[in-house]
Structure 1
Amino acid sequence: MDSLEKVQEQGYENQEKTSKDMSVGDWLITMLILIIPIVNLVMLFIWGFGNPDPRRNYARASLIWMAIGIGLMIIFYGAVLAFILSFNNY
């Protein structure tokens, strides 16, 4: 039982060492990078699917929201285009 507890403690200590809390300045720089077109998309993919990073979950969630927004935009503009083209038959 002692060895299991030691392994769990060591795993917890290693996790604390590898995961770094981000400061307010780090988040300000992150948001500044995300303002820049094209760079934001590239950086979200790097943070989301690259090396372990404290921004990983945020990057993945942002990419999911972008995909949902693009999908809804395509549906909306497709419906508007179909509506406009339906009047051209008369």
Structure 2
Amino acid sequence: MDSLEKVQEQRYDNFEKTSNEMTVGDWLITMLILIIPIVNIVMLFIWGFGNPDPRRNYARASLIWMAICIVLMLIFYGVVFAFIFSSFNSY
């Protein structure tokens, strides 16, 4: 029974060492980096698909939202331009 408790303690100790919790300062720096144009997209790809990072899920979710917004923007502008050009051709 003692060996089982030792194994469980070792697993708990290893979990504490491997889990990288981010502090408030780390999140402030992350948000500062995400304000900078072009750098933000590059860093989201690095955090999302690079080495394991505590920001991984946030970066992937942000990239998915960016892709959704770009697709919706293209559809919207396509509809607007189609409407504008169709109104010019009717004269």
Shorter-chain TM-score: what band? Answer: 0.7 to 0.9
Q: 1:56 to 1:5 in 2, by over 3 A?
A: farther
Q: Does 1:40 align with 2:31?
A: no
- The corresponding residue for 1:50 is 50
Q: Runs ≥4 in structure 1, deviation > 2 angstroms?
A: 2-16
Same amino acid, percent of matched pairs: 82
Gaps in structure 1 of 5+ consecutive residues: none
Once the two structures are superposed, the pairs formed by residues 15-26 of structure 1 within 5 Å of their partners are 15-26=15-26
TM-score normalised according to structure 1 size: 0.85
Q: In the aligned structure 2, how far is the partner of 1:4 from the partner of 1:73?
A: 57
Q: Which has the higher contact order (CA 8 A, sep 6+)?
A: 1
- Paired residue secondary structure (1:88): helix
- The corresponding residue for 1:80 is 80
RMSD of the alignment, in Å?
A: 2.1
TM-score normalised according to structure 2 size: 0.85
Aligned residues: 90
Q: 1:63 to 1:4 in 2, by over 3 A?
A: farther
Q: In the aligned structure 2, how far is the partner of 1:80 from the partner of 1:66?
A: 21
- The corresponding residue for 2:69 is 69
Q: 1:86 to 1:24 in 2, by over 3 A?
A: same
Name the stretch that deviates more: 61-70 or 15-24: 15-24
Q: 1:88 to 1:27 in 2, by over 3 A?
A: same
- Paired residue secondary structure (2:89): coil
1:24: how far off?
A: 0.4
